[in-house]
Structure 1
């Protein structure tokens, strides 16, 4: 089975969306971009952080209080439907780029649903760069990248790892496309 799903997994501000757009730009094929943020944005403004959906909690790490986004029951159900949608699109023959902040159990679920038809890519950058991007974007919760960087990638075996600070999105997109063509 050839790869028709690319899962870009990384913390907030790691460059997943920019990389997904670059893959779309450089591929000779059409790739649909399915983003976790788009699913969360389906909720009415201000309701996404409700207890049922994606509540924010504060966690203490090394004397610092950081925000942590969690999945309430409805949020978990919504993200499960996102994974089902990705599988359905893949089975129908669509190429899909998934833009996700996923822990090991979610990546395992994707692999179980997609088998060898997916390439799981760790999208990362140095923490100082993630925090700089977070501050400059102005639409990110400060501290989220730091909190996620300490747990998101734990226990995940990636097919490919990229550093969005060391290389341009264009170069990384070409690298990923070369990898799935091989």
Structure 2
């Protein structure tokens, strides 16, 4: 029997990593824990990430409007970026096929086509698809508070501070991330994490699992096969 997969999607600050960690910790069942944060921080080579010198071959940030180079940014993938995320999704599928339950935090955007690839590679496996979505203003406040808590050690370098440049780039990415990650409207469970804390979020996921298999990925498979995201 394949193991249960839970995909928890949301932007930075939505609570997806906290939810996945708490869910696995408090469950009496065996749950593997993985996700995009583990993947980008510990598996994906930093020099091919969007702060690295070879980002164009991996995951790179560029202006949403090329006519406004100082404006909002978005992500795009080079060849290695597409390959790496395909491997990420195959790892999740392999865990399930080996009979392991696995809970995964993810950025299930459709452009680049991460959601489409994930749905295709997990076809035929039991997937519960969960979205964590607080209001945009709440996300921005949470992320700003995180930055203030970091006490940047090189702040005296001013505009030449590499950490400051990274934070500025992330700030320009956030509006696009919010729109891209939440562009999909098909989930098994959608939760406002302004209204519900991590314990309650885990309760809601457990209750939905008890109701039976998720159907969102099957619906999305039919949509994507038909060539539509509507």
The answer to whether the aligner puts 1:123 opposite 2:132 as a matched pair is yes
| DSSP-derived class of the 1:150 partner | helix
For 2:78 and 2:201, locate their aligned partners in 1 and report how far apart those are by CA, in whole Å.
34
For 2:171 and 2:140, locate their aligned partners in 1 and report how far apart those are by CA, in whole Å.
8
Spell out the pairing of 1:147-162 with structure 2 (5 A cutoff).
Answer: 147-162=176-191
2:23 match = 23
2:117 match = 109
Spell out the pairing of 1:3-152 with structure 2 (5 A cutoff).
Answer: 4-41=4-41, 42-49=43-50, 50-60=55-65, 65-104=71-110, 105-112=113-120, 113-115=122-124, 117-138=126-147, 141-152=170-181
Bigger Cα Rg: 2
Aligned residues: 180
Return the offset for 1:181.
2.0
Pair 1:43–1:157, CA change in 2 (3 A): closer
**Structure 1, 27-36 or 84-93: larger mean CA deviation:** 27-36
Return the offset for 1:2.
7.8
Pair 1:132–1:96, CA change in 2 (3 A): same
Aligned Cα root-mean-square deviation (Å): 2.3
Return the offset for 1:10.
1.4
| DSSP-derived class of the 2:132 partner | strand
Return the offset for 1:152.
2.1
| DSSP-derived class of the 2:21 partner | helix
Deviations 1:118-141 (A, max 9, x none): 011111110001111221222761
Gaps of 5+ in 2: 151-166, 212-230
Pair 1:84–1:44, CA change in 2 (3 A): closer
Deviations 1:36-84 (A, max 9, x none): 1222222444541211111111224xx9822222222101110100100
2:214 match = none
More strand by proportion, 1 or 2?
A: 1
TM-score by length of 2: 0.70
For 1:84 and 1:180, locate their aligned partners in 2 and report how far apart those are by CA, in whole Å.
23
Pair 1:115–1:162, CA change in 2 (3 A): farther
